[in-house]
Amino acid sequence: MAWIVDVKKFAAIGAGVIGSGWVSRALANGLDVTAWDPAPGAEKQLRENVANAWPALERAGVKPGASPERLRFVATVEECVRDADFIQESAPERESLKLELHAQITGAAKPDAIVGSSTSGLLPSDFYARAVHPERCVVGHPFNPVYLLPLVEVLGGGRTAPDAIDAACQVYTSLDMRPLRVRKEVPGFIADRLLEALWREALHLVNEGVATTGEIDDAIRFGAGIRWSFMGTFLTYTLAGGDAGMRHFMQQFGPALELPWTKLVAPPLTDELVDRVVDGTSQQLGGHSIKALERYRDDCITSVLAAIGAAKARHGLRADE
């Protein structure tokens, strides 16, 4: 099958935080976008989300012809996907819901249109079980805010054609994203498994009164978070080994892995722990609205991406390195 990779019409199934992020990214890339979401007030919320994201997208750079006016909201799944060249589903993380949706989506879509799901951990072999032409069905797991962060994890299910995964990566690349091929169909994929380990440890620290939510966030944003934005864990630790590199680092710090520093099992989500987390994050908001902090976050992300790009250019590195 020759899959559509020259995408002109993008369909978004689901218009929540992730779905509206996909819509914003597709619009910024000069595409016509059709969206569907059954929730009351979904169209109004979607258009507000796009408007809130647009200033950051303009700072980052939009494609010729890009406009929020190219968004059309429709009443049915079938109308949404019928003429689409590429379809991205961002429904809630319920396998039964995705099973039903993808039977509808793939039954109405063009047979050469690739279908992607934004699932953050469900397995494609399971929720694409009733799909029509399942060979074109993939996972395209993005990160919030979808319209700015380039990473998208891409994998297929047991019946997905390898060339469909290649084609999906090509489409995501055309949307200025950085596809990461997940080699095996594994729950949580790659990035969320790493984030989950950090999240569990953070909850233990709050639960045991070691630190507040704000103090834990400070430990990340003024430390490892800065270097994570341009150099991942393995390369960072390679440099920590000095001229001898990773082998010396492993020899020097490897024994610490046997010490009981961390707890990978999550703490029970008691009412007391939930209250501590909610109270702590409420203080961190400091009276600012979520929308205002989203704009602040987006400004920071575009600034960091621009700074990293400039630094790479000065050091002779490619933009994708």
- Is residue 299 assigned to a domain? no
Which CATH number do you get for residue 228? 1.10.1040.10
Phi-psi region of 245 (alpha: psi -120 to 50; beta: other; left: phi over 0): left
- Tokens at 221, concatenated: 């944003």
The model's confidence at residue 9, banded by pLDDT at 50, 70 and 90, is very high
Distance CA 82, CA 108 (A): 6
pLDDT at 262 over 90: no
Instruction: Give me the pLDDT at residue 158, please.
Output: 97
DSSP state of 132: S
Residues 170 and 206 in one domain: no
Instruction: Give me the pLDDT at residue 254, please.
Output: 85
- Tokens at 67, concatenated: 């406009």
- What percent of the chain lies above the pLDDT cut of 90? 88
pLDDT at 82 over 90: yes
pLDDT at 77 over 90: yes
The model's confidence at residue 264, banded by pLDDT at 50, 70 and 90, is confident
Instruction: Give me the pLDDT at residue 256, please.
Output: 82
Distance CA 167, CA 200 (A): 35
Nearest Cα residue to 13 out of 138, 113, 114, 118: 118
First-to-last alpha carbon distance for the chain, in angstroms, is: 32
Close Cβ partners of 261 (under 8 Å, ≥ 6 residues apart): none
Question: 231 or 167: whose pLDDT is higher?
Answer: 167
Numbers of helices and strands, H then E, in the chain: 13, 8
Instruction: Give me the pLDDT at residue 255, please.
Output: 87
Residues 203 and 147 in one domain: no
Instruction: Give me the pLDDT at residue 257, please.
Output: 81
- Is residue 221 assigned to a domain? yes
Residues 24 and 173 in one domain: yes
Instruction: Give me the pLDDT at residue 253, please.
Output: 84
Which CATH number do you get for residue 31? 3.40.50.720
Number of domains composing the chain: 2
Residues 73 and 221 in one domain: no
β-bridge pairing 71-73 and 32-36:
parallel
Residues 135 and 226 in one domain: no
Tell me: the pLDDT tens digits for 124-159? 999 999 999 999 999 999 999 999 999 999 999 999
Q: What is the mean pLDDT of the chain?
A: 95
pLDDT at 261 over 90: no
Question: 260 or 232: whose pLDDT is higher?
Answer: 232
Residues 15 and 141 in one domain: yes
Close Cβ partners of 68 (under 8 Å, ≥ 6 residues apart): 27, 47, 50, 51, 54
Q: Containing domain of residue 25, as a range?
A: 9-181
Lowest model confidence (mean pLDDT) among 24-28, 129-133, 255-259: 255-259
Instruction: Give me the pLDDT at residue 321, please.
Output: 81
Residues 228 and 93 in one domain: no
pLDDT at 248 over 90: no
Instruction: Give me the pLDDT at residue 70, please.
Output: 98
Instruction: Give me the pLDDT at residue 86, please.
Output: 98
pLDDT at 250 over 90: no
Residues 96 and 23 in one domain: yes
Q: What is the CA radius of gyration of the chain?
A: 21
Distance CA 190, CA 45 (A): 31
Residues 201 and 151 in one domain: no
Give the range with max mean pLDDT: 84-88, 287-291, 292-296. 84-88
Residues 232 and 150 in one domain: no
Residues 219 and 248 in one domain: yes
Distance CA 142, CA 150 (A): 8
Tell me: the pLDDT tens digits for 167-210? 999 999 999 999 999 999 999 999 999 999 999 999 999 999 99
Instruction: Give me the pLDDT at residue 43, please.
Output: 98
- Is residue 186 assigned to a domain? no
Nearest Cα residue to 301 out of 183, 117, 168, 147: 147
CA quadruple 296, 302, 303, 308: dihedral positive or negative?
positive
CA quadruple 198, 203, 206, 208: dihedral positive or negative?
negative
* Cβ–Cβ < 8 Å for 18, 146: yes
Residues 168 and 20 in one domain: yes
> CB count, 10 Å around CB of 180?
17
